[in-house]
Amino acid sequence: MVEKVGATNNNNNINHQTFDVSLDVHQQGASKCFDDDGRLKRTGNEWTASAHIITAVIGSGVLSLAWAIAQLGWIAGPAVMILFSLVTYYTSTLLSACYRTGDPVTGKRNYTYMDAVHSNLGGFKVKLCGLVQYVNLFGVAIGYTIAASISMMAIKRSNCYYKSGDKNPCKMNSNIYMISFGITEIIFSQIPDFDQLWWLSILAAVMSFTYSTIGLGLGIGKVVENKRIKGSLTGITVGPVTETDKVWRSFQALGDIAFAYSYSMILIEIQDTVKSPPTESKTMKKATFVSVVVTTLFYMLCGCFGYAAFGDSSPGNLLTGFGFYNPYWLLDIANAAIVVHLVGAYQVYCQPLFAFIEKNAAKRFPDSDFINKDIDVPIPGLSHPYKLNLFRLVWRTIFVITSTVISMLLPFFNDIVGLLGALGFWPLTVYFPVEMYIIQKKIPKWSTKWICLHMLSIACLIISIAAAAGSIAGVVTDLKSYKPFKSDY
């Protein structure tokens, strides 16, 4: 563990990963350049935090919402979506209150989700949280790689359809597109940490609004073209699917919607970029409110108009569904926006995992130049050289390659999305925030608030189990007719 107050950039980079801060660093807290923990002043605000959240939330999950509503119907679909938005907002406010342990103004900062669990709960729960969080983040990398390849193929296919006049089936393999996305992520993964991702998050947030708006516009256009609103109150009817399939699909739809709202696993890391005053928790509550309201509005519009346009045959990925090949150039813009957005979202989700591995490596091998030493690499046009860290270069590259290969093995977009949503929703979005908040605020056992919080947690656990079961059933079904590395569409 490095605890020096060195002025060198290298030491500052290492100190960015530490938990403990020496007394003389605390005495620097009142300076104009450093925060109370000795780190450089944080500059984030509710708008940059909102950009990070929107980048994380309005991701590929929005594309599966029309399919999810089609499984649940006009009553349950929107109701479940609103329910998830309310639960996500409420538990996010609980989690943001745990950024500092003790006093919300002067308490010890928790730099990561695991730090917060360590400070408030400790013991085995810290390891359990780390396992769930980082496995989920790895899974998100896989899901986003699959989603990006689907959008890249959609661009190629729409142009193929346009040129051939619908005579060419335009079959193509997704592997080359996944590899291309992986190469791009290898490059962007060398951005050292969250603080330097703000520009990529803002760009990605703009892209998310771009393709969501186009999807919404195409959905409205399709409804107008059909001259009626498709769908039913109870969702897809038994007949085209069996009763058992309908149950499993309904459960999987819960996972898809949960995935669309999943960002709690990186909330603390986002909060650690926010300046104070006001307190970080107040800023994050505002950012969370803005983000959840905006994303829910987009989700409702995209999901409902997609279902209204396609009814029971709503595609798993709205923008790659049949009938949306004209105007092909508009679809190309939307899918290109998805790819750009996913490049940024991939980094927003993976940075906490990158930081965790690198912090622990530096702690275990403090004298290793391979892990701790930065090499100045001059870049034309930039006033400061890029600081290349060999360990960061090697391990992050291996991470991206691994996630890309697994994506090529399991290219099931809908099922993977549902499974990720199910696995991450209860423990990361509900259970840990509720338990930490109870400890943080010293809520008496068996009090009304204590009982209500645990009832919320149990209800969400049941939903997560059902969603996971539905998604696993979907994966099993897909595997029956699947050949590895031969994913032609």
> How far is the C-alpha of 208 from the C-alpha of 188, rounded, in Å?
18
What's residue 181's pLDDT? 92
Written as six digits, the tokens of 254 are 């819960």
- State the pTM of this model: 0.74
At 241, which amino acid appears? V
Q: Which residue has the tokens 């209860």?
A: 426
Mean pLDDT comparison of 36-50, 62-76, 140-154, 437-451, highest-scoring range: 437-451
What's residue 397's pLDDT? 93
Burial 327-339 (b: 16+ CB within 10 A, else e): ebeebbebbbbbb
Give the model's confidence band at 38: pLDDT under 50 very low, under 70 low, under 90 confident, else very high.
low
Task: Check if the beta carbon of residue 443 is closer than 8 Å to that of residue 449.
Answer: yes
> How far is the C-alpha of 365 from the C-alpha of 371, rounded, in Å?
7
Residues in a beta bridge with 109: 100
Give the model's confidence band at 448: pLDDT under 50 very low, under 70 low, under 90 confident, else very high.
very high
Q: Judge whether residue 416 has pLDDT over 70.
A: no
Task: Check if the beta carbon of residue 49 is closer than 8 Å to that of residue 283.
Answer: yes
Give the model's confidence band at 1: pLDDT under 50 very low, under 70 low, under 90 confident, else very high.
very low
Find the range with the poorest average confidence among 69-83, 267-281, 386-400, 453-467: 267-281
Task: Check if the beta carbon of residue 248 is closer than 8 Å to that of residue 474.
Answer: yes
Residues in a beta bridge with 238: 241
Q: Judge whether residue 205 has pLDDT over 80.
A: no
Residues in a beta bridge with 488: 173
Mean pLDDT comparison of 247-251, 436-440, 448-452, highest-scoring range: 448-452
- What DSSP designation does 425 have? I
Give the model's confidence band at 450: pLDDT under 50 very low, under 70 low, under 90 confident, else very high.
very high
What's residue 194's pLDDT? 62
Q: Judge whether residue 458 has pLDDT over 90.
A: yes
